Every structure is written in structure tokens, then in C-alpha cells.
Amino acid sequence: MVRSSYCWMAFLTFALCCSAAVADDYAIVVSKSTNADADWHKVVTALQNKYADSHVVSVIEYADNVTEALPELKKRFPRYTCVVARPEDAGRKFVAQVHQLTRKLDDDPYTDTLWGILTGYDAAAALRIAKHNDPLTVRKVGSGTELAMEMIEEGVWYCELNKNKMVRKEKGGQAKEEQGPDDTTKALVDSINDYKADLFVTSGHATERDWQIGFRYRNGSFRCEEGKLYGLDTARKKHPVDSSNPKVYMPIGNCLMGHIDSRDAMALAWMNSAGVNQMLGYTVPTWFGYGGWGCLDYFIEQPGRYTFTQAFFANHHALVHRLATEFTQADGTVATRGEGRGLAFDRDVVAFYGDPAWQAKMAEGKTAWKQSLKVEGNRYTLTIEPQRGAETFKPINVNGSQRGWRPIVEFLPQRVKHVKVISGDELKPVITDDFVLIPNPRECEPNKKYEVVFEAEVIDD
């Protein structure tokens, strides 16, 4: 379901159609055995109750394999899909299956529904996340790696590369470098427990059992035990993490932080004792980085534009777009050479945990460009207005791997079909049933408005 001037199958025009008979807003996918468990059934029921007044909710059960949900998902074509799973079922293979499943609802290569895997150390931990409904505005940020501080309201980051380096930004002030402690373990724990960061970001060496805070120098670590997270400093002193304020967690460069290989997994501890409602995480050792680091480009560096869920999938759409347009051969196979190999590696290995419809956004801030969508009848106008002059489309922060140059992504308010581009074809837009993607223009004409105008029919509910 793609219309593009250079789309993945190189069609010049494409009549977009949809096979969905019902447009359910929110689907809960769960195994029969999980739903039959009294405690886990409460998680499903909580989600149903939470969205009963605002969404059309459906429950899709499967017997043995999550891929069995495909026929019903195709039929219902939900905007959101929450996959409820016990921790013993939510391993690396499961995450890959959910990725692959949710790209098969139609015939384009992109993810077709905003999904999240809702799990927990136990059913009670998952139920806490399922019941939480109040949206989160991210105002305070804590981090163990460098961030674009000019894009956040307030926060602190401790350098993983240079000992004693830290940068703090007070609300209403400018970011300032300060002298940090030799061992940042307690400071990072305090940023969660006492400072009550709304967003926590990490990178560096990690496993399913720990996060090693220092990348180039000796430092402490975060570890877990029986679903509880704690810091262990270089003097072997424990600093328990006990935080109840709802937050999102971005281990954008950590190996294995998203891999739930047992109930002792770090991901479960983050969601159990650190107040994490949503998180992403690699289920494998990471080396390329596009699927993780790029989420900063959408979530932090375009403050207030995307929910955390949307930022994750905008970055995934960007990844798939590069694979489809630069590395897909005429027979449909992916040429895994050079960066294509890295993109293919990242495509199915970054997990997204939590209720995907829960709203967590950065506090509003000035973005590199204004982005607006006007809908008048069946006509859609997406307008991009530069705000950083010639630097508008260039990377804001390059810490990490595969940073910057992300395409512009706009999520549509309703699913559409039968797309016809009226103007803006020179920007090479990709228009699917639920989003528009414009490749990063790279060079910017500061006084120009970049516009794509298209006509489309709304897919009836």
C-alpha cells in the first residue's frame, strides 16, 4: 500500500487499496494459555476497559505461535496492536516474529500497525502498565550518554567516554559542563529515584544482566536481582533503584538490554522497579545502531512532535525505506552489502515494550523545521518550513552510531487509499495508508516551503 515517485517496486503510480473489512482501532493479541491465566487475563481486561470509550477494541487469541494472529489482524487492520505476553514467551525470537507479522497486514514493506509487547516480571507488573492512562510530558531527562540538551527542558547527562564529564541544564537555562564524580553510579541512580527523570537514556556495554556505565573508563554498573534494579559502584556498594513515577527508557546503544531471556532480565527489572512504562531495546549484541540511536533523532530532537511509540516506528519506517529504496533488488531480495547488511541486521531485533497507545511526548520545543498537515476534504497538504536556515536538515547531534539525515515522517489522522500526488513529486514522497515519508532533502533553501499535496480517500471504519 505505497504510492511513491520512486517506491520500493519502482511504480510510477500506484492505486492504494485496503483489504481490511473492519478498521478496529486497538487490537490485543494474546495466546490462549496466557489469556486463560487468571492474573494475566486481568491485564487483557484492563486494556479493554482503558480504551473502551475511546477506541474500538478487539481481542485476538492464538494457540501456539503469534503469527497465527495474521488473518484477524489483516481483517481488522488496527491502528494499535498490544501483544500481551508472559516473560517466558517474550524472547528474541518472539520479538522478531512480531516485527515480521506486523509488516504483513498489506503488501508494502512497512510496519502496518503501531505495536508494543506488554509483559512484566510478573502479571502484577504488567497490570500496572496496562492500567496507567495519564499521558506523560517528558520534562526531566537523565542519561548515561551525550544528548542534544538544547532540545530538552531540563536534564543531566554523564559521559560514558570521558571520566568526570557531565552536562547539566536547569529549566529555563543553558546547558553547562560540570565536574562529575569519578564513579557516576549513585548519581545516575539518584537521577531516577530523587530527580525523578521522565526519560532515561543509556548506551555502552550491556548484557541481559547488567549495564556497564563506563565505556572507556572504570565505573560502576546497573544490575538486577529478582525483578529489582540496583546500581553497584566500584566500591561494591549497592544503590537500589526504587522509582514509581512513570517514565520511558531508551537504551539506544546497549547490547541485549531488550532481550528477555529469563525473569532475571534487565528489561523486566526496569519495568518493575524503575517505573518504566515503555522502552525499546536490542535483543542482540548491537554493532550497526540505526534501529536504536535513530530514535533520538525523532523523539528528543523533534520535541513534542511524536509520541514515544511514533518515534520508534518513524525510525523503523526510515530503516525499511532505506532498505527498500537502496538495497532491494529487482527480484525483491535485499542485497545485504555494506550498510544494507547493517539495516537488515537491525530490522527485527529492536523490541518495543509497553502499551503502544499510551502517550508519552517530549515537552514542546523549537524544532529544526515546522511540519504541518492540512486536510481539506480528500486533499492533504504536508508543509515543511525550515527554521534553522541552511542547517535545517543536517544532524543536530551525532553522538552514537548512524545518526542524523532521517527522513521526514508524518502520521496520517486516518487510514487512506487511492492516493494521487498533485504536487511535490520532486521530493520523492512515499505515501502509505497511514503515514507520509519524505527523504531528507539534505540541502536546504531557507526561504522555501517544502510541500507535498495529494488526494486520497479515507478508508471507512
* In the predicted structure, residue 9 carries a pLDDT above the cut 90: no
Q: What is the mean pLDDT of residues 261-265?
A: 97
> Using only C-alpha atoms, what is the Rg of the chain?
21
The Cβ of residue 251 has, within 10 Å, a number of other Cβ atoms equal to: 28
63 DSSP assignment:
S
Q: What is the pLDDT of residue 18?
A: 41
The alpha carbon of residue 54 and the mean position of all alpha carbons in its chain are separated, in whole angstroms, by 23
- pLDDT tier at 16 (50, 70, 90 boundaries)? very low
> Which H helix or E strand runs over 277?
strand 276-282
Q: What is the mean pLDDT of residues 110-125?
A: 98
Query: Torsion angle of alpha carbons 255, 257, 258, 264, nearest 10°?
Result: 130
Q: What is the pLDDT of residue 20?
A: 39
C-alpha to C-alpha distance for 333 and 330, rounded to whole angstroms: 7
Mean pLDDT of the chain: 94
* In the predicted structure, residue 298 carries a pLDDT above the cut 70: yes
Grid cell at residue 29: 493479541
Closest of 108, 94, 109, 120 to residue 40, by C-alpha: 120
Q: What is the mean pLDDT of residues 224-250?
A: 98
Question: What is the sign, positive or negative, of the torsion defined by CA atoms of 433, 434, 439, 444?
Answer: positive
Confidence (pTM)? 0.95
Least confident of 149-153, 220-224, 323-327, 382-386: 323-327
Phi, psi values for residue 39, rounded to 5°:
-70, -40
- pLDDT tier at 3 (50, 70, 90 boundaries)? low
* In the predicted structure, residue 324 carries a pLDDT above the cut 60: yes
Question: CA angle at residue 403 from 346 to 409, to 5 degrees?
Answer: 80
* In the predicted structure, residue 13 carries a pLDDT above the cut 60: no
> Which H helix or E strand runs over 131?
helix 123-131
* In the predicted structure, residue 231 carries a pLDDT above the cut 70: yes
Domains of the chain plus CATH, in order, are: 26-131 (3.40.50.960), 136-283+293-302+358-362 (no CATH), 366-458 (2.60.40)
Q: What is the mean pLDDT of residues 138-156?
A: 98
- pLDDT tier at 435 (50, 70, 90 boundaries)? very high
Secondary structure (3-state) at 310 = helix
- pLDDT tier at 8 (50, 70, 90 boundaries)? very low
Question: What is the sign, positive or negative, of the torsion defined by CA atoms of 449, 453, 459, 460?
Answer: positive
Provide the percentage of residues in the chain whose pLDDT is more than 70.
95
Q: How confident is the model over 32-74, as pLDDT tens digits?
A: 999 999 999 999 999 999 999 999 999 999 999 999 999 999 9
C-alpha to C-alpha distance for 111 and 314, rounded to whole angstroms: 10
Grid cell at residue 400: 552514537
- pLDDT tier at 334 (50, 70, 90 boundaries)? confident
